[in-house]
Amino acid sequence: MAELSDVFFVDGVRTPFGRAGEKGMYWNTRADDLVVKAMIGLLERNADVPKDRIDDVAIAATSQTGDQGLTLGRSTAILAGLPQTVPGLAIERMCAGAMTAVTTMGASIGVGMYDLAIAGGVEHMGKHPIGSNADPNPRFVAERMVDPEALNMGNTAERIHDRFPHLTKERADRYGMLSQQKVQAAYEAGKIQPDLVPVSTIGADGGWGLATEDEGRRPETTMEGLATLKTPFRPHGRVTAGTSSPLTDGATVSLLASGAAVKEHGLTPKMRMVSFAFSGVQPEIMGIGPIPSTEKALAKAGLTIDDIGLFELNEAFAIQVLSFLDHFGIADDDPRVNPWGGAIAIGHPLAASGVRLMIQLAAHFAERPDVRYGLTAMCVGLGQGGSVVWENPYYNGKKRK
């Protein structure tokens, strides 16, 4: 009879993130090949894990069409060289796709059905722009269930500014600038590169290249420059390109394991899953979604926000993060929050981003044995939020028994 099990995040890797569009480094690269490259890198880093013992592969994508379709978990597993006995599936929860892949596989491990699983996500926003293959039901608008503006993420960000006028454009600009500076500092310190899997690319001229770093960084960003940017979502608005995550291509994958699998294969887990939760909010102001999902996840864990020593929050928009911090009484520049920056500088390839947050939190845990609990959280299109609470297995420098 199956028994409940701990769920461990053993490892995670990602491709460098590229600018979406014809000028981006992945314009001539298939979305599924980005996943395959990342998956091969993950398996190579964890060579002691028998490939035939992996119970399932869950890969998320928001726009499941073309090279992001065909049951990504199954097709990429085969392409990455996993035995054909290993099954796979595709998951879709917009921005929280990879996060949902992890929680779904983690739940299967937790109830004793799985021992090892791979979870991740991909988005090629250059080839598959958000909503490009969608056909929203006309009832949403006809019956006034959802304001049409809710389908534009930038408009929902402007509405957070409307609701919380003390979260000013200047505060959002400063947050965006600091994100760029923190990412650059992390790169210069060699913090981010160890978890990046290089990807061969083909340029517009047919020449080969190698993607080794995130392409969209703008470390030269200043407050003066941000103040002059246009507000594309509303005349005289407050959301700009400098306070938004750019359109991005990229893939992430992670390896999850049960306590029994950790012992059997001699694995060294980087995090233990404590709890997770997803919540719904008004689609028109979807950016506040991580607030209720975090409250639910903390309640399930028996913790409070004061127990969280590190935060990895997805920066879909600066105002979205600021609303979260403001709600929980956390300063805009609190050093616990996104110590190495976030999506405003790195990019946000929708369904891939959840595992990027986990990769960075795991790296922080390795350097911070004084921190016991960390949180990964993100807003989700159409009015949702997702949060996962993690425990540091090396809290106080001692491996958790």
Catalytic residues, by residue number, are: 95, 348, 379
Residue 52 contacts residue 83 (beta carbons within 8 Å): yes
Helix residue spans in 111-237 (DSSP H): 139-142, 153-163, 169-188, 223-227
320-342 burial code (b ≥16 CB/10 A, e <16): bbbbbbbbbebebeeebbbbbbb
- The residues near 232 (Cβ < 8 Å, ≥ 6 apart) are 154, 239, 240, 241
Q: Mark out the alpha helices in 46-190 (DSSP H runs).
A: 72-79, 97-110, 139-142, 153-163, 169-188
Locate all alpha helices (DSSP H) within 266-385, ordered by sequence.
290-301, 318-327, 343-346, 353-367
Q: 211-215 — which CB contacts under 8 Å span 24+ positions? A: 211/15, 211/16, 211/18, 211/25, 211/26, 212/16, 213/16, 213/187, 214/16, 214/17, 214/18, 214/183, 214/345, 214/346, 214/347, 215/16, 215/17, 215/18, 215/19, 215/24, 215/25, 215/347
Query: Locate tokens 């960084």: which residue?
Result: 217
How many whole angstroms separate alpha carbon 59 and alpha carbon 326? Answer: 33
The DSSP symbol for 93 reads B
**Helix, strand, coil: what percent of the chain each, to 5?**
40, 20, 40
> What are the tokens at 294?
């975090």
Per DSSP, what are the bridge partners of residue 14? 196, 252
Kindly compute the dihedral angle of the four CA atoms of residues 398, 392, 274, 300, in this order, to the nearest 10 degrees: 100
Q: Which one-letter DSSP state was computed for residue 100?
A: H
Task: Report the phi/psi class of residue 379: left, alpha or beta, with left for phi > 0 and alpha for psi in -120 to 50.
Answer: beta
**Residue 190 in 3-state DSSP?**
coil
For residue 124, list its beta bridge partners.
249
